[in-house]
Structure 1
């Protein structure tokens, strides 16, 4: 069963309300393998200068490999983060059974992000994937194709669990993020095609396609946004690259030619 442990008082800021500017819209991403909270800037809501806020925390989230949905959680600090500070807590992990997310959702988690390293750990440390993987290989799938089918299944199932939040917020929250292959980090066109493929096969309105902010992939972000696909931009390590990502997002919206861009959103971290 997934569980949330104690969240200590942020430092150095006295409070989030003092530290964050009033109109910033951010997502807090909790990494269960470290004590870090990562900020994901909502590009759809805030395109002003970006400032980072380091937080020290004792938050730990564990996702077990056992069956069961867990018990409903009581009101937590995560609810307060959203209702009082406008922060959307995301869970930086995904594993089977995906229903382990239910107590986290009840505890105030409003989205999930994943990456290839997370899935590598999930598939190698649990037997929950064995039956499906065996069936895929016996059906003639190569290892990489079988891997992506496992990933897509988990992402679809997670999207279903977060769908009520997505609907309640009219697309403002409740997203699940899946990343393109890291082999494409220097491949602009390959990243564009992979993002289109993932968006098509997952086929859920609340999926984010995660793209790294490498020099080669910044143009990919523009093209993917222009195709009406919501993007989670990851691995940004400088303000200059943040600015390039914001420009790519805005250029993509302008290039889309759509009259309704309300469902094309982006976050960046």
Structure 2
């Protein structure tokens, strides 16, 4: 982990931004379509333009459209207790203001998001030039760019954090993906990021690899809030919960109320892999289960969540102010165009959970998403699907391990590509070649 020193002072954003009022004529059209939990029709999604006036686009050129009075995101939180977050970040972070006004309550980022933001934008050029000319190497300069974005985003969401007494309004930043197999390196990186970002509403993202689950326990015990990412299986999810509980117990803190966590459980990628396996099997029973594995497993994860955060052990922690490690549904964009575009959002609505949505999923849900508690509406069906897949030869352990490996490799490639892009940027700007 490259160290960063002598941070250049930045003009802070107002911690309580005054948002301009929404246009009086703005309306949101919602369609009364129902989306069953696991059963859905396989028809191509409509290509008609979306009805919502909010244009979800994280870009310093396009902005995020106009303000809206009220969206399904507000209903999601106020009626069902699920927090809608935005899975994207770019400069200027003020692009997030219309999304906050429209109901977004947090932000997640990852190496792929920063790779896209930094490599395709000129908004980072001035700071990058100053850093490199000031003697920073490329990787150190990268982390300063990231830290500034995260700090600025934290300030935008701080009012939500304050209003909910630390229950919401978080911004997530991930440790280097190169540390996915390094327990102590991940701990050190998490401590460093927490220190340099220096915002109460930052989540340090740590991957749920076998090497990093112990890191989660240690980082939590230090009083640092964590977003545990790349969770693809029930067994690994249970290990993540245990790491959180162990960390709280090991902290020695009398007040645990400011140590929080989310567990990022990935969904659409599960269907992408399992669907291919089912197509290889090729039987009518197998083909009928396509598009159902991810939500079935997610429903069972919610059952595990309810079980683990109850009973004497948990109640003892609650007496010290502990908060549940919320389930966060990640990878919510639909990869198969034959599936409904809210497939990984609408069927996973439940209390004390988070749904982080990239542009496409967020726009679709604002436009025609339906709000109702669905995550535990048909648990027996979820159990049946999970078992049926096992009987067909789907090895859930293999699915989880393969997707975890692919996720780590993907983030490493994005990280390395970003550093290469920054080196090219330095060359094109005729800066010192570091």
Q: TM-score, normalised by structure 1?
A: 0.79
Q: Does 1:169 align with 2:164?
A: yes
Q: Decide which of 116, 119, 144 is 1:124's aligned counterpart.
A: 119
| 1:62 alignment partner in structure 2 | 57
5+ residue gaps in structure 1? 15-34, 36-57
Q: Which has the larger radius of gyration?
A: 2
1:10 shift after superposition? 6.3
Q: Decide which of 203, 210, 226 is 1:215's aligned counterpart.
A: 210
Aligned residues: 223
Aligned in 2, Cα 1:86/1:134: closer, same or farther, shift over 3 Å?
A: same
| 1:28 alignment partner in structure 2 | none
Q: How does 1:1-20 map to 2 (within 5 A)?
A: 9=33, 11-13=35-37
Deviation sequence 1:137-173 (CA, Å, 0-9, x none) = 0001000000000000000000000000000000000
Deviation sequence 1:94-147 (CA, Å, 0-9, x none) = 000100000000000000000111111001111000110011000010000000
Q: How does 1:1-269 map to 2 (within 5 A)?
A: 9=33, 11-13=35-37, 61-66=56-61, 71-269=66-264
Secondary structure at the counterpart of residue 113 of structure 1: coil
The structure, 1 or 2, with the larger RCO (C-alpha pairs under 8 Å, 6+ apart) is 2
1:71 shift after superposition? 3.6
Alignment check: 8 A CA contact 2:226 2:260 kept: yes
Alignment check: 8 A CA contact 2:56 2:65 kept: no
Aligned in 2, Cα 1:7/1:217: closer, same or farther, shift over 3 Å?
A: farther
Alignment check: 8 A CA contact 1:199 1:229 kept: yes
5+ residue gaps in structure 2? 1-27, 39-44, 46-50, 265-434
Alignment check: 8 A CA contact 1:163 1:174 kept: yes
Q: Distance in 2 between matches of 1:93 and 1:10?
A: 27
1:73 shift after superposition? 1.9
Q: TM-score, normalised by structure 2?
A: 0.49
Backbone CA RMSD of aligned residues: 2.2
Q: Distance in 2 between matches of 1:12 and 1:75?
A: 25
Deviates more, 1:67-76 or 1:108-117: 67-76
Aligned in 2, Cα 1:10/1:207: closer, same or farther, shift over 3 Å?
A: farther
